[in-house]
Structure formats: C-alpha cells, structure tokens
Structure 1
Amino acid sequence: MEKLIQTVELNSSSTSSDNYHPNVQLTSFSGNQTNCNNIVFNVSVSTPGQTSGSVNIIGYRTLVNLLPSIPNMNLNSIVMSTVMQNSSLAKEIAINFSLINERPPDYEMLCVFWNFSTMTWSDEGCYWNKTSSNEQMICICNHLTSFSTLMSKSPIELPYLDQITYVGLAASVSSLIVCLVIEFMVWNTVVKSNVSHFRHTALVNISLCLLMGDTVFLVNSFYQSPKWCGTFTVIKHFCYLSMFFWMLCLSTMLLHQLIFVFHQMRKKVYLTISISIGYVCPLIIVLLTYKIYNDGAEDVYYNAKSCWLNYKSPFNGSIHAFIFPVLTIVLINFFSMMVVITKLLRPQVSEGSKGDQKEMAKSILKAIVFLTPVFGITWILGFFVLVFDLTEGFWAYFILPSQSTP
C-alpha cells in the first residue's frame, strides 16, 4: 500500500503534460498564475491567491477501490494527488470533489489525505467547507499530497437522544394510563352538559391515540424486527395523525359552541362528525400514502433504521404525509384560539344563558394555553432535527467540533 501511494506521488511530480485516460487523468500548469482552477474527472482544484512554479494534478478514478478506509466511514470520491515543483502555495488549496454516492442529511463527511507516517487516512490540516452540496464536497487543505473524501456509514445523532426518547415515552405512557383511569372514574361526575361531554370525549380519544402510538414506538425501540417495521410505521402514522385530528375536533367544537350559541350540536351528530374527522380522515391519508409510496416499500414509504416515515429532502419523502396535515391542523387550531380569545374579551349586552358557556370556554382555553408550549416542545425539537442537517451550522459546533471551519 505504501509503495502504491508513493508511486502516485512520483507520477504526479514527474509528469508535466496533460494526459487523459479512462482511469487516469493529469493536468498541469506552470508560471505565475492567480486563482488557478484545473479539472480532472469532474474534480476541480483551485489555488486561491498567487501561485508560482509548476503544479501537477492527477486523478485516479479506480484507485479508491484499492485503498483502506476508516472504521464506520466509506471512501466516497476519487483519489486526487497535487504536487508542486519549485513553487510556492499562497495560502491553501481547495478541491471540489464529485461524490460517488450522494450525501444524505446528517451524514458526516471528512476531507482526508494519506499520512505516510501512520499509513492511514488523516484529516489534519484539512476541513470540509459546509457550503458544499449533497452531490459535491469542497475540501480546503493547507498542504499537498494525495487527497480523497470519506462519508460515514450511518447518520449522526444528537447526544443522549435515545435516552431522552425512552424516558419521555415511558413517562408519557404512564401518565396517559393514569389520565384515562381518572377520566373513567369521574366521568359521570364531570360530564353534565353537552359541552363537557364533547370536551371529555375528545380528550379520551386524544389520550387513547397518543397512548397507542407511544406504546408502539416504545416497543419498536426495543424490538427492532425488519418483518414488523412496516407495520409499526403504519400504526404510528395512523395513531399520531388521529391524535391531531381529534385536537382539531376539540378546537372546532369550542369555536362552534361560542359562535352558534342558539344552534347547539346534538351528541349523536357530534360523535358522527368527530369519528369521521378523528379516525376516517387519518385512515384515508395513511392508506393513500401507503399506496402511493410503492405499497409501503422499504426506504420508500418507511425508513428501515427508524421504522418511521421516510425523509429524503424538503418536499420529498412520505414524512410529508404527516407533516402537512399536522401543520394545517396547527394553523386551524391557532386561528380558532384567536377567535375564541377575541370572543371572550368582547363585552356583551346580555349574557343570559351564555355565562356558563363562557366559563367553560375559559377553562378549556386556559388548559390549551398552558399545555400547548409544554407538550409542543418535543414536537418542535423533532421538527428542527428533521429539517436541519446536524452536520451544518449551529449543530456542528456541538456534535462535530473537529469538523468546525477554522
């Protein structure tokens, strides 16, 4: 291996004319040049600033298949050697690699060179320019030798994310069971009007959907079976969607009770509409998503590692069959809450029979205002983890300190 790499370096320094072959391409330039940019195998090498002397750049398309990798990392570009003769490098060299495999979100990249002292790849003196795209990678190095890129075999994760998930799910499941037990024990005591009946019916169904979804999520965390992964994804997709649709039923019921005071909804009508919205609508969304994404195929409908809906990029992936309905419901609920607050603050000439209704609405509104930020924190955190690449920006300084740009 050492002789192979040294031969690469020797060929780079001894050849002075451009050569293009199926597996080897070489380009060179000489003389004083500024901002030089040369390309071999769609990989460009630039030297910002003033560069003098002779510069040879040679790319080996298949050499990457013969070289060792780093544990948990894969070589993901050609090998590029840059050698200067009787020249001076102004500051640093920038290499724009075309990646063999596109980099998915949250996958770490390393700019590396072959270290003859340790006979391994090393990233010392090189860093990854985070402005690179998922198909290309810009490496900045302050020295010259044989370069390549490495990509992690699995995505990086936030520290202690699994532990936080297990503790949170266990606490959620326990609390929901206690909530449902208390709800059934005091049902006859607290349900004394249509408004209270509608409210507690929605709360019970919200708790049931969340309990079932969290239970399946927790079971799936400890029992990871490829055979059941698709089934777990379908169940979680349906349960969490149903939970949000029942939240929609709760907010629209509150809005209806305050606006249409003299046209109160009957229990049978409310149950029919709520069940249709709370269970039928999410079922249709889940079935259509399952069918559209290749009948629930792995890595198309669901991610085999997480047993959850697949995400590829913004507006691309089955996860959007969950995100878009949830965002729509959140916006509708926010609008409903603003209308209810305006209605409650508006002075009335005659309260009449609306006094009890308004007091009930106030109590519901207080619960919503208090619980929304508490229970929304985990969803907001999940949204940011989903949308933002953990290898870039704010996250990288905490998760990838070694790869932070100088």
Structure 2
Amino acid sequence: MGFGKELLLLGLACALGNCVLGCEIGFSQNTTIKNCTDINECSENPSVCGNHSRCFNTIGSYYCQCQHGFRLPQRDKVNFTATTGRCQDLNECTESKNKEELCGPNGECKNIIGSYWCNCSNGYTNYSVEKTPCSKLDCDNFSAGKKPKQFLGGLANIMSMMRNSCLALSGTGSKVKLDGDALLEKLFTETDAILSPGTLNIDASVSELLTTMEESILFIGPQLKNKHIKMENNRIDAQIAVQRGTTRPTGEIRLSSEYAYLDTDWATAAGTGKYSGFAVAALLSYKNLESSVNRSFEMVKGSEENGAEPSYQVFSKVVSVVVSNPSTQTLSRSVNITFRHLEDIEVLPNVSYICAYWTETGAWSTDGCSKRDSNASHTICTCNHLSSFAVLMALHPIKHTYGLELVTKIGLTISLLCLTLCILTFKFCRSIQGTRTTIHLHLCICLFIADLIFLAGISKTEPVGGCRFVAAMLHFFFLAVFTWMLLEGVQLYRMVVLVFNATMRPLYLYAVGYGTPLFIVSISACARPNGYGTKEHCWLSTDDGFVWSFFGPVCLVIFVNVFFFIITVWKLAQKFASLNPDLSNLHKIKAFTVTAVAQMCILGLMWVSGVFLFQEDPPVAVPYIFTIFNSLQGALVFIMHCLLSKQVREEYANFLSCICTSQKKRYSDLSTTNPSSSQSQGSKSGQQTGESQI
C-alpha cells in the first residue's frame, strides 16, 4: 500500500514536469554538481496559489497564505495549494465582533474586495482612506468669528481655505475638494506671504498664526498621500510623518531641519485615547519669526544674580511640534528638541540658555520645559507638552564684587567730604565773594545732593514709586550741575568781553540754574512718567531714547561751553598781546578758565562712562571708571577752587591760627595762679587778635 502511494505521487510529480530520476519530490537533478537541489515552486509558477494569496517556498515544498482581507473557505489552512482551494473575500462588516470599532458610531461599514469602507455621516470623514473610522471634523476651528479681531490679514485667507476644504470633506459644503498635498502647498504659499514683510508687531497675531498653522497641519496630515513629506519655502520649513493602520503605530520618530531636530515616538504622537486609524507628527521651523517674538519675557523663570533679573533674547529659530495626540498638554513621555543657535557663542559665566514655549496669551514661558544639554552651537530641550518652542539666551548682569562696592562708597564719600568743604568755603570766605563764587557754591550744592542721592538710592529699585522719585531727583540735580557749569562759562566770557559790569544778579542766576532743569524734568515726567526707574537702576530708561532727556541737554551745555571757552581764550590772547595789559587781572581770568575747562572735562568724562554704566550689560571696568570720575569731581573742585586759590589759602591760615591761638590761651589760663586775671587778659588779647585779622 505504501509503495503504491509513492508511485502515485511520483507519477503526479512527473505529470507536473518535476520528475527527475534519483531525486525526491520537490527537488531536481543538478547536472553540474550531480546533486538534487530544491525547486522554488513560487518563482517557477507564480499562480500556483491562485488569486489573493501569497506563496512561500520551503525545502522540498511550498505553502500558500491568503492576503489580508481574504480567507479560505475551509478551516484547515495547512498545505493550502491551488488544488485545495481559492482565497475568498472576507466580509469584515458582518464578521466583526464589534462593528462600531470599524467605522465608529457615525459611520456605516461597506464591504469591498479585500477590505472595507466607512460611509460617514455629515460632519464626519474617513479622509478618503479605506479601513479608516469616521472622525468628527470641527470646521468651526477655522471660523473667523472664533478668532480675535486683531489678526493678520493674510491669516483670514488661510482660515477661509481650510474651512471650505473641511466642509467639503465632511460632506456639508462644496463637493470640490483639494487633496492633502495641494492643500499643504497652498498653506505654505499663504504663510510665506504673511511672513514676507518682516517683523510682526502684534503678539496676538503671532499666537494666531502659530495656532492656525498647527490646526491646519492636523487637518491636512491625514490627507497626505505619502507617509513622509518635506516641504520648504523662503519662510518656513516642514517635515511631516503619517502612519495609517487598524492598530496603533509603534517605533521612534526622528524629524529634522536645518534649525532643529525632533526625537519622539509614535505612541506619544498617537496618544492613549481612541485610535482614529492614523497618527501625524510634524516639525515646523519658521525662518524669520524670531525677530517678531523677541519680547514678552515676563513669564520666563530665570535665575537671578545679585538681586537683578537677567535680560533675554530669542537665540534660535521658532519651532512648532505638531502631533495628532489630542492631549498634548500632558504627554506620557517627554519629547526632545535639539535647537541650532542663531550664532555660536562660547559658554560664559554670565550667559545661559533657557528652553521656552510661546503661550496663547502671547508671551514666553518656561513651564514644562527644561534644558537637557547645551554647548556653544546647540541646546537640547526636554518638554512634557507640545507647542511652539525656542531657545532663549539669558544675559546675567555681572555680579558686583565687594571691591566695587567698597570703591563706590569710598569714592563718593571722598567726593561728599570735598564738596562739603567747598560749600563752607564759598559760603563763609568773605574775600572771594562774587558772582563766580555764587555759581561755584550752587554747583557744589547740586553736585553734593546728586552724589548723596546716588550713593543712597541708585540701586533701590523697590518700591517702584520710590525708585522713580530717586531717578527724577538725580535727573534734576545732575542737570542743575551742568546748568551752573554753563553759567560759569557765560560768566568767564563776560569777564573777558565786558570788563566793567560783568557781574550777574543772583536772582537771574537762580532762575536759570534751577528753572532750566526743573522745566526739562517736568516736561519729561509729563511726557513719559514710566521712563523714570529701571529693573537694575533708579535712573532714566534707555527704551525709546528717553535717556536723551538728560544726555541731550548735557551735550548742548558742553558744546556751548566749548564755544565760550574758545572765545575766552582768543580774547585773552589778544589782551595779553596789547600794549598795556592788566596782567594781574588777565592771569586771574586765565586761571579761572583753566579750572573751568578741567572741571568740564572731568564731569564730561564721568557721564561718558555713565552712558555705558546704565546699559543692560555694561563692561566690567565701567562701574569703576564712573566711580573714580565721580569722586574726582568733588576733589577737583576743592583743589582747584580752594587749595590753589591764594585768597582761600590765606583765609584757611587765618582760621587755623585763630584756632591755635584760642587753644594756646586756654592752656595758659589753666597754668596761671590767678584764673580771673588771666582769663580777662586772654579774652582781651583774643579780641584784639580777631580785630586785627578782620
């Protein structure tokens, strides 16, 4: 019986042309190596398994398997060949245990050869893809009525285009609809037109643009033909990946552009909710949007140094990460985004990089994002939610050392002491009284008050009202210093040109010396009260050029004084060259001019360094230079106007001699045997000495 069966199988093999003497069934004689080799039935006879099936070769045989969506009419699939049966279509609509899982509650399953199709109700769509359940389309997301009134004009075109396509896809609008690739190209064209003018000045417009782009990509993604698409123009670069199927996709996602790199997975992109039959992940890089969002850092949480907040600037391209996961605010796994810096900067102690995202309210925030690693050219950010991201560079103010604080206190203390001596000298020294002394007196008073306020309150930025008051007082008194310095230049000019009646009435001096700075400060405070006081110093704000309400008048004073000094020196040279010069008076005016020029140079150099001191990130040496010049100002006035003046030195000598004489008399009173007699004689002698000095 067994031998007869083998003969029967051999005859069948010979009938099929596979009968070779000496080889078993499924093998053929190889005349070259004189051995039996396996016959690949699948390649020799592609239709061996019939339609809708796949052939798999095995050693000495083969087997067949029905394609997905088909099955054998018999239960037994072992040794399936063309002679045992043909694959028949599987009706998924009738044989599925849970029919709603196929198309959802708003779709009707329709069987097709090898697959099935979901007929969706109005307002739902399967994105024209078989085996895709019906998903609800919220076309109102692209309705202008739900958006703020202040948005970009070109954004209305995008929303109108998306809304019309959405209505057509959901069966409630026009039957003419664009495929996903054409729609994506039109979206990029409109976005390029919006971003072409340059900087966008309205934060709400930026937020609406980013939100509309994200919603549009989520709408277009399922309609794309290819699983991976890259599109780029002058303003935007995008990479989009799409996965379709009846089961959730798995595996890693890596999307990259010239400016950023996204590392996540399909489980994060699809989410944990109901699977819609597809998953989308996209990386959008905006090429020129960083200048439009280089502001609104109030919500950024950065580390403070020396009690001062750092200054921020956007230091990468703005990047949007879009996925089909509906719960992007609470991701089960964080995503990693690698940013390319706008420029390579070496790591410095006062520079750090912060990962931030753009909120819907139009501001940068660091919540949920942290820096994983950073170097001079790249920063890796880890975020547990998705939005539009960028890297911010934080410039920390260089921490003032104890040495600088000590130099500041010592320098300003020296200046205050010297100015105090000057004020006492100009007030009580009778031999030098006159218009020029009055000018010096009030110049020293203003400079004394300004230095005192500067020492006590320049860094007291809280409360805001107090800081603004300090800034306004500094503005007034420093302007007054320069105004009195201008009056000194005018007085020197009058002394040379108007030999007689060169004095000026004190009332006029007070009106100009204090009225002019008061007028400037009043106008500035009324025009922009918020310009007084900054986050770092109680001084004038550098925004919108407000600080020029001080530096403008200062430059004008210096320019006018230079003019007066040139005329004064020229007139002096002419008078020295005359036949009968008044050498005593001319030498005195010459000395006055030299001291005035030196005074103007020191005060001018002080505020040249002051221009850089109140910037956001001044050089390290600037605070020291400013403090040194500030202390030199008081010392210079004391040396040149007091110590170098012969009349003042004589007054100092008389004053010291009075003190010494008084002490000597008191000593002699204590040593005498007749206290009453000695005391009366000492008093009489003192009175006589005082009269002779006067």
- The normalised TM-score by structure 1 is 0.61
Q: Who is 1:198 aligned against?
A: 435
For 2:468, the equivalent position in structure 1 comes to 230
The residue type equivalent to 2:236 in the other structure is N
1:244 CA drift (Å): 0.7
Structure number with greater CO (CA < 8 Å, separation at least 6) is 1
Q: Tell me, what secondary structure is at the counterpart of 1:302?
A: coil
Query: Following superposition of structure 1 onto structure 2, how do residues 46-57 of structure 1 map, counting pairs within 5 Å?
Result: 46=258, 57=283
Alpha-carbon separation, structure 2, partners of 1:349 and 1:202: 30
Per-residue deviation, 1:23 = 6.8
Residue 93 of structure 1: CA displacement? 8.1
Paired residue type of 1:149: V
Q: Does 1:265 align with 2:497?
A: no
2:371 alignment partner in structure 1: 121
Q: Which runs of 5 or more structure 2 residues have no equivalent in the other structure?
A: 1-179, 188-209, 222-227, 239-256, 260-281, 290-296, 305-309, 322-337, 344-349, 357-368, 384-388, 623-694
What stretches of structure 1 of length at least 5 have no aligned partner? 1-15, 48-55, 83-91, 98-107, 127-139, 192-196, 399-406
Q: Find the partner of 2:537 among 293, 298, 306.
A: 306
Higher alpha-carbon deviation: 278-287 or 219-228: 219-228
Residue-by-residue CA offset, 1:85-118 (whole Å, 9 max, x unaligned) = xxxxxxx985669xxxxxxxxxx8755679xxxx
1:71 pairs with 2:298: no
Change (3 A) 1:74 1:376: closer
Candidates 410, 414, 425, aligned match of 1:167: 410
Cα offset, 1:343, TM superposition: 2.4
One-letter code of the match for 1:230?
R
Over residues 234-273 of structure 1, what are the superposed CA-to-partner deviations in whole Å (9 max), with x where a residue is unaligned? 3222211111100000011101111222x4234xx43232
Give the aligned partner of residue 150 of structure 1.
Answer: 392
Q: Counterpart of 1:218 in structure 2: which amino acid?
A: L
Q: How does 1:173-188 map to 2 (within 5 A)?
A: 173-185=416-428, 187-188=429-430
Q: Does 1:359 align with 2:587?
A: yes
Question: Distance between the aligned counterparts of 1:271 and 1:374, measured in 2?
Answer: 26
Change (3 A) 1:264 1:289: same
Q: 1:142 to 1:95 in 2, by over 3 A?
A: closer
Instruction: State the 1:124 CA deviation.
Output: 2.7
Tell me the SS of whatever aligns to 1:149: strand
Residue 39 to residue 244, structure 1, CA distance change in 2 (3 Å): farther
Residue by residue, what CA displacement relative to the aligned partner does 1:263-306 show, whole Å, maximum 9, x if unpaired? Answer: 4234xx4323221210111111112222222xx3xx33433652
Q: Letter of the aligned partner of 1:285 in structure 2?
A: I
Residue 79 of structure 1 and its aligned partner are, at CA, apart by: 6.4
8 A contact 1:111–1:148 mirrored in 2: no
Asked if residue 208 in structure 1 is aligned to residue 450 in structure 2, the reply is no
The structure 2 residue matched to 1:189, chosen from 409, 431, 454, is 431
Partner of 2:359: none
Asked if 1:337 corresponds to 2:565, the answer is: yes
Percentage of pairs with the same residue: 19
User: Using the alignment, how far apart are the partners of 1:36 and 1:93 within structure 2?
Assistant: 19
C-alpha distance in 1 between matches for 2:382 and 2:536: 37
What are the Cα deviations for residues 137-189 of structure 1, in whole angstroms up to 9, with x where unaligned?
xxx5499999732254x86257446554433322221221122223334x213
> Counterpart amino acid of 1:80?
V
Q: Quick one: which of 208, 214, 221 aligns to 1:24?
A: 214
Say which SS state the counterpart of residue 560 (structure 2) adopts.
helix
* Kept after mapping to 2: 8 A contact 1:69/1:75: no
SS in 2 for 1:22: helix
Residues 69 and 286 (structure 1 numbering): CA distance in 2 closer, same or farther, change over 3 Å? closer
Q: How many Å separate the matches in 1 of 2:407 and 2:478?
A: 19
> Is residue 276 of structure 1 aligned with residue 511 of structure 2?
yes
Cα shift readout 1:17-70 (whole Å, capped 9, x = no counterpart): 869863738798769x9x997347xxxx757xxxxxxxx733699xxx9x9965
Supply the AA of the counterpart residue of 1:170: T
**Does the 8 Å contact 1:113/1:122 carry over to 2?**
no
2:617 paired residue among 385, 390, 402:
390
> Greater Rg, structure 1 or structure 2?
2
Indicate how the Cα distance of structure 1 residues 168 and 157 shifts in structure 2: closer, same or farther if over 3 A, else same: farther
SS in 2 for 1:258: helix
Residues of 2 paired with 1:69 and 1:396: CA distance?
Answer: 26
Query: One-letter code of the match for 1:231?
Result: F
Change (3 A) 1:325 1:29: farther
Alignment of 1:286-325 (within 5 A): 286-293=521-528, 296=529, 299-303=530-534, 305-313=536-544, 316-317=545-546, 319-325=547-553
Q: C-alpha separation between the residues in 2 aligned to 1:383 and 1:397?
A: 13
Residue aligned with 1:308, SS: coil
Residues 1:37 and 1:281: Cα distance change in structure 2 (over 3 Å): closer
Relative to 1, partners in 2 of residues 1:142 and 1:222: Cα closer, same or farther, differing over 3 Å? closer
Structure 1 residue 342, shift from structure 2 partner: 2.2
Distance 1:68 1:260 in 2: 64
CA gap of 1:23–1:372, structure 2 versus 1, over 3 A, is same
- Aligned 8 A contact 1:173 1:211 in 2: yes
Matched length: 311
